[in-house]
Amino acid sequence: MEHVRNRRIFAAATTGLVQRGAQILATLITYPLVLHDLGVAGFGVWAAATSLAWLAGNLDFGLGAALISLIPRSMAEADHKGRDYVAAVLIGSCLIAITLLGVVVLAIAFGWLPQFRPVFLIAAIALWLSIPLNAGNNIWFGLQKAYVPAGWQLAQTILTLLLVSTGALCQAGVSALTAAIYAPALATSAAILTHAFISYPNLRPSWHLSSTAMRTVLTQGSQLFAITLAARICTTASGLLGIITMPFWPGFADALSTNDHAWLTRTLRHGTIGVITLAVFGSFGLFAGGGPILRLWLHHDFQMTPLLLGTMAAWIIVTTAPNIASLFLNAKAILKPQILILISASIIS
């Protein structure tokens, strides 16, 4: 079991890293094309609308993230609670989507919302539709097979690159280029969720809603959302390290369910050392080459002083060092102390 767990963590981290590398490469290709097509003003509007995409994984207020710990437990105990947890997340996500829609309709009816460009309407509709669909990603994480959604997202990156590049070369306009970002993302989320239900019929939601499962999902989900929100306010750095370390969460949950304390101790120690090592090397690269790389890419000198780059590098190291320990605490559902720490750090920063 230990070998299987380690292999799944490695496969998920590697696939996720490849997907993120492809995403970065696609960004390097598409941004200059879109800037040339839309001009500075149009590019700013497009960038603002598409930058909202990061909200897609957070609009369920942490309900989906609860599956990352709950599914491994249900699988280890060989019970049918996994189906109930998935049903609770989907129903809760749909209720959140309906509530948000009602709030927006009321705001429009009372004139509380200012007029906004069509590109932001495209982004809002896509984000709203993504609320229940994002459960699929968390289901695969809970199954310790995060490489499956990463594979789908790699295909999404390639499709997005083709659509945005073609749209920019054909001068399709800012609305079409915005849709070229969100449409593949929605299709991918739907494919990931469908793939999960086809591959694991025992996780398909039942028509019967378990009140116990709903309470469990709401309790863990709300606390995980608080952690995510506080961490987002505290720092937005170290995205690549987050991709690499995220698969450890369901691995820890599985090991806790089977009382594999030796693997837990070893993984906590080695994982923390590995994360700190990667953060140090990455931060050194930022300090040594951050300024020249920005000038080369965007043809503009942003006056990145050594002091600023050094401070950013130190911040990345400090904020990523506890990653593995935090994922272990998530798996044990020890969440309140993390919330207090992150909120305190957010206030201080």
The domain in which residue 143 lies consists of 2-348
CA distance 9 to 144: 7
Is 62:88 a contact under the CB 8 Å cutoff?
A: no
> What's the confidence (pLDDT) of residue 233?
45
- How confident is the model at residue 155, as a pLDDT? 92
């995220």: which residue's tokens?
A: 246
pLDDT at 226: 57
What value does the mean pLDDT take over residues 245-254? 75
Mean pLDDT across 9-26: 80
**pLDDT confidence tier of residue 301, bands split at 50, 70 and 90:** low
Overall pTM > 0.75: no
* Residues whose CB falls within 8 Å of the CB of residue 52, separated by 6 or more in sequence, listed in order: 120, 123, 127
Residue 161 scores a pLDDT above 70: yes
Q: How confident is the model at residue 234 (pLDDT cuts 50, 70, 90)?
A: very low
Q: What token pair was written down for 294?
A: 């920005």
The answer to whether residues 243 and 13 touch, using CB atoms and an 8 Å cutoff, is yes
Is pLDDT at 237 greater than 80 in this prediction?
Answer: no
What's the rounded Cα separation, in Å, for the pair 103 and 81?
Answer: 33
Q: What is the dihedral of CA 90, 95, 100, 104, to 10 degrees?
A: 130
Q: What is the pLDDT of residue 319?
A: 76
% of the chain at pLDDT higher than 90: 10
Instruction: Report yes or no: 330 and 245 within 8 Å, Cβ to Cβ.
Output: no
Q: Are 268 and 41 in contact (CB under 8 A)?
A: no
Total number of domains constituting the chain: 1
**What's the mean pLDDT in 50-59?**
76
Nearest Cα neighbor of 312 from 292, 290, 331, 329 is: 290
User: How does pLDDT run across 98-142, given as a tens digit for each residue?
Assistant: 988 888 778 777 766 555 667 888 888 888 888 888 888 888 888
Three-state secondary structure readout of the chain: CHHHHHHHHHHHHHHHHHHHHHHHHHHHHHHHHHHHHHHHHHHHHHHHHHHHHHHHHCCCCCCHHHHHHHHHHHHHCCCCHHHHHHHHHHHHHHHHHHHHHHHHHHHHHCCCCCCCCHHHHHHHHHHHHHHHHCHHHHHHHHCCCCHHHHHHHHHHHHHHHHHHHHHHHCCCCHHHHHHHHHHHHHHHHHHHHHHHHHHCHHHCCCCCCCHHHHHHHHHHHHHHHHHHHHHHHHCCCCHHHHHHHCCHHHHHHHHHHCCCHHHHHHHHHHHHHHHHHHHHHHHHHHHHHHHHHHHHHHCCCCCCCHHHHHHHHHHHHHHHCCHHHHHHHHHCCCCHHHHHHHHHHHHHC
- 199, 142, 66, 239: CA torsion to nearest 10: -120
254: tokens are 């599985």
Output the pLDDT for position 159: 94
- Specify the length of the chain in residues: 349
Would you give the distance in Å from CA 177 to the centre of its chain?
Answer: 22
CA distance 208 to 87: 8
Q: What is the pLDDT of residues 57-105, one digit of tens each?
A: 777 777 878 888 888 877 766 667 778 888 888 888 888 889 888 887 7
Average pLDDT over residues 225-250: 59
